[in-house]
Amino acid sequence: MSRNKRSTSQELVRQKQQTKRRRQVDERVRRTRARLGSALVALIHEKPFNDVTVQEVLDRASVGRSTFYLHFRNKNDLLLSQLEIFLETMSATLTNREEESHRVLPVAEMFSHIGAQNKIYRALADAGRLHDFFDLAQGYFSRAIERRLRESRRCSHLLPQELSARSYALAASLLALLKWWVDRRAREAPRAIDELFHRIVWRGVQ
C-alpha cells in the first residue's frame, strides 16, 4: 500500500472514531438531561415548584452539582428545557408520522397530555413562568401550523405573508383555547377541543 493510501485510510479511521466519540458524548448528555428533567417533574408532583431545590433535583437524578450547571443555569432553566422538548415533540408529531388529515396540530394528544400533567401547568403559573411557556409555544405552533397549511391544497390561494399571519393568529387562538380549557378544569374532552380548533382553522381559511 502506498504512503498516500495509508494516510487516507488512517484519516478515515480517525474520522470514524471521532464520530463515534461524539455520538457517545451526545448520548450521555441526552441521558443526563433526561434524568434531571424527570427528577424535576417528579418533584413538582410532590410539592410546589418554588419549594423544589436544585439539590433535591440532583439527589433524585443522582447527578452531581457541577454536571447540572454544565447544562442548566438554574431550576427555571431546567423547567423551560422540558417545555421546549414537549413543544418540539407536539409541533413535529403530524409531520413525523406523516399523518394525512385536515389537522394542523395534534390538539387532542396535546390537551390529553396537559390534562394528565396538570400540576406542571399549575407549577408554571405558581412560578410566574406561564408567560415563558406561551411565548415558546407561540413560536413552535406558528411554524408547525404554517408548514401544514402550506402543504394543503385549500391554502394554495393564500400569499406567503398572509399564510404566515394566519398561522400566527391560529397559534394564539389555540393557546387561548388551552387557557380557557384549563381554567374550566378540563371539562371538555380533548377530542372535542381538537374538532373545535380545526373548525376555526378551516372556516377562517375558506
pLDDT per residue over 138-151, tens digit each?
Answer: 999 999 999 999 98
- 5 & 98 share domain: no
Q: What is the pLDDT of residue 18?
A: 54
Considering the domain architecture, whether residues 50 and 131 belong to the same structural domain is answered as no
pTM of the full predicted structure? Answer: 0.77
CATH number at residue 20: 1.10.10.60
- As a whole number, the mean pLDDT across the chain is 87
Which domain-ending residue is among 53, 72, 91? 72
Residues 149 and 68 in one domain: no
Do 63 and 126 sit in the same domain of this protein?
no
181, 188 contact by CB (below 8 A): yes
Do 54 and 82 sit in the same domain of this protein? no
Are 20 and 109 members of one domain? no
Measured distance CA(111)–CA(28) in Å, rounded: 31
Q: What is the pLDDT of residues 27-86, one digit of tens each?
A: 888 999 999 999 998 998 888 888 999 999 999 999 999 999 999 999 989 988 988 999
Q: How confident is the model at residue 11 (pLDDT cuts 50, 70, 90)?
A: low
How many domains, the chain?
2
In the prediction, which pLDDT does 157 show? Answer: 85
Are 165 and 108 in the same domain?
Answer: yes
Q: Which domain holds residue 45?
A: 1-72
The residue whose grid cell reads 485510510 is 9
What is d(CA 177, CA 170) in angstroms, rounded to the nearest whole number? 10
Report the candidate in 172, 173, 166, 136 with the shortest Cα–Cα distance to residue 148. 166
Q: Kind and range of the H or E element at 168?
A: helix 160-183
Q: What is the mean pLDDT of residues 10-26?
A: 57
Verify that 142 and 125 share a domain, yes or no: yes
| 19 and 94 together in one domain | no
